A and B are shown apart, each in its own frame.
Chain A
Amino acid sequence: MTPFQLSRWSAQLATTTALSHYYQSYIAVAVFGIAACVLVATLLGVGRMLRPDVARGEKYIAYESGSDPIGSWGQSNVRYYIYALLFVIFDVEGVFIFPWAVNLGSNSNGVGLGVFGLVEMLVFVAILALGLVYAWRKGVLRWA
């Protein structure tokens, strides 16, 4: 299905069910995702028609600067799992802080979180910053 056909189809859907603006936006996002996949598939399809395909055993060995590889994946020391834990904490903070940021100042109706909301978030940020300082002092942020 081409993006054009898809848009026709979604237009019909929009008129028959009277979709709100909200859903229209997210259908647009979905159409975009499909369009990207169609682009990738089309270009690879065109490539398949043009490119040669000469099977030779050596081609299918991993490139390791000339020497034959020993094993495929190897082991790697993942040193950053504590960073990953910290990341989760601060990422959740991001999720909480965005709605707060939208509602802090007064909107067109003059309603906002005001000083109370500000103090609440200052406490929240201070606790998180304290956590970061603790991790720092404990030497967790040292790459060793």
Chain B
Amino acid sequence: MNLLAVHVPWGLALGIKTLIVLIVVPTGALLLGYVFLLKMMSHMQSRLGPMEAGPHGSLQLVADGLKFLQKEDVILAEADRPVFKLAPAVVVLSTFLIFAVIPVGPGPGGVVANLDVGVFYALAVSSLSVIGVLMAGWASANKYALLGALRAAAQLIAYELPLLLAVVGVVLQAGTMNLQSIVLAQQNGAIFGWDFLGNPYILTQFIGFALFMVAAQAELTQTPFDMPVAESELVAGYMVEYTGFRFLFFFIGEFGTATAFAALAATLFLGGYALPWFHGSAATLLGPFVLIAKMMLVAFFIFWVRFTYPRLREDQLQSLAWKVLIPLALLNIVLTGVFKVIV
């Protein structure tokens, strides 16, 4: 809030930021859902997709949301009711908490919680969602749901590690886990003395970036890693017994987390809200838009892969994580450490 040089009390600033993020998370989910799930997938498959609600079908998901609001809330007779009701809230909570540390501008005003353990915190709260998924799968009293939840747990166990270890390279280079400092380190950095672009870590941490993207794809249960929700065999996995808005919360959780992971990848590897050679108040104002542009670019890759590759089998999925990604991640850490100390 140092943007306009007006002193805003900390509590008020926090209240405003909380309201902004309350709007940003569902909007981000709608944006990604519309642009990629409805339109990009349709056009890649030579069809138009929804066209009726709003210009070019742009209000389709808003209409869907209003429809879901009017749907009956069915809870099975055999379901574990409290757990069943709590599960979507856990997933949404996990999504919200990630956004607390993603910076959209410089200084303490540009981020909600400027935590020193930023990246670590983001990865920790993002894996809370698997608890919600397990709760949903168990409480549904449905065999499809239980299988889906167990598969989700297996997958998240396998891909949590490459995600964690891929980020270590960035932390090594920046010397900090604070996301604001990581952005600044990229803006003001240099690659072997060459500082024209700064040092966006995608260049020096390319292995880390590739690992992060593959692992994020799996954490988001996007195809080719969509065994937990595989429509053709498990209907919708852990979501199968959910109706109305409770179902929609899983949707918001999925696409909101996709937004968060894309923003996180943009912050860690593409320089975040900052552009090289661009400082001052104009840069501060443009920050959020720069971040959104980079976030959409990363999200485009996530969904491009989703619409292109067939689903991996459970054993292929596990061996990819343990026999390829984790050894590569360890190698990346060793190489980055050696370069950090020797060069």
Q: Which of A6, A51, A62, A73 lies in contact with B71, CB distance below 8 A?
A: A51
Which residues of chain A come closer than 8 Å to B93, judged between CB atoms?
A: 33, 36-37
Q: Which of A9, A29, A37 lies in contact with B113, CB distance below 8 A?
A: A29
Is A46 touching B69 in the complex (CB atoms < 8 A)? yes
Considering the chains assembled together, what is the distance between the CA atoms of A25 and B22 in angstroms?
Answer: 18
Contacts A11-B10, A28-B112, A64-B143; A105 near B18 (Cβ below 8 A): no
Is B172 touching A7 in the complex (CB atoms < 8 A)? no
Considering the chains assembled together, what is the distance between the CA atoms of A121 and B338 in angstroms?
Answer: 11
Is B337 touching A121 in the complex (CB atoms < 8 A)? yes
Considering the chains assembled together, what is the distance between the CA atoms of A40 and B15 in angstroms?
Answer: 18
Interface residues in A, total, Cβ within 8 A = 79
Q: Which of A3, A26, A69 lies in contact with B19, CB distance below 8 A?
A: A3
Interface residues of B in 51-107 (CB under 8 A from A): 68-78, 88-89, 92-93, 95-97, 99-100
- Closest Cβ of chain B to A30, distance in Å, is 10
Tell me the interface secondary structure of chain A in the complex.
Answer: helix
A10: nearest residue on chain B (CB-CB)? B11
Which residues of chain A come closer than 8 Å to B340, judged between CB atoms?
A: 104-105, 118
Say if the beta carbon of A134 comes within 8 Å of chain B.
Answer: no
Is A53 touching B113 in the complex (CB atoms < 8 A)? no
Considering the chains assembled together, what is the distance between the CA atoms of A26 and B125 in angstroms?
Answer: 13
Is A32 touching B89 in the complex (CB atoms < 8 A)? no
Chain A residues within CB distance 8 Å of chain B: 3-4, 6-12, 14-15, 21, 24-29, 31-33, 35-37, 39-40, 43-44, 46-48, 50-54, 59-65, 69, 72-74, 76, 78, 80, 83-84, 86-87, 90-91, 94, 97-98, 101-105, 107, 114-115, 117-118, 121-122, 125, 128-129, 132, 136, 141-143
Say if the beta carbon of B188 comes within 8 Å of chain A.
Answer: no
Contacts A29-B97, A107-B175; A7 near B11 (Cβ below 8 A): yes
Is B14 touching A97 in the complex (CB atoms < 8 A)? no
Q: Which of B68, B77, B322 lies in contact with A132, CB distance below 8 A?
A: B322
- Closest Cβ of chain A to B192, distance in Å, is 15
Considering the chains assembled together, what is the distance between the CA atoms of A52 and B70 in angstroms?
Answer: 7
Which residues of chain B come closer than 8 Å to A27, judged between CB atoms?
A: 14
Contacts A11-B12, A43-B245, A62-B142; A94 near B97 (Cβ below 8 A): no
Q: Which of B10, B71, B142, B161 lies in contact with A63, CB distance below 8 A?
A: B142
Which residues of chain B come closer than 8 Å to A105, judged between CB atoms?
A: 172, 175, 340-341
Please classify how large the interface on chain B is, using the bins under 10, 10 to 19, 20 to 34, 35 or more: 35 or more
Pairs A–B under 8 Å by Cβ, sample size 23? A11-B10, A21-B108, A25-B114, A26-B115, A33-B93, A36-B92, A39-B96, A47-B70, A47-B73, A51-B72, A52-B70, A76-B146, A76-B150, A83-B158, A87-B160, A87-B161, A90-B165, A101-B333, A102-B176, A105-B175, A122-B334, A141-B319, A141-B322
Considering the chains assembled together, what is the distance between the CA atoms of A143 and B314 in angstroms?
Answer: 8
Stretch from B211-219, B300-308, B323-331 contacting the other chain: B323-331
Interface residues of B in 140-162 (CB under 8 A from A): 140-144, 146-147, 150, 154, 157-158, 160-161
Contacts A8-B11, A11-B9, A25-B113; A143 near B319 (Cβ below 8 A): yes
- Closest Cβ of chain A to B50, distance in Å, is 23
Say if the beta carbon of B244 comes within 8 Å of chain A.
Answer: yes
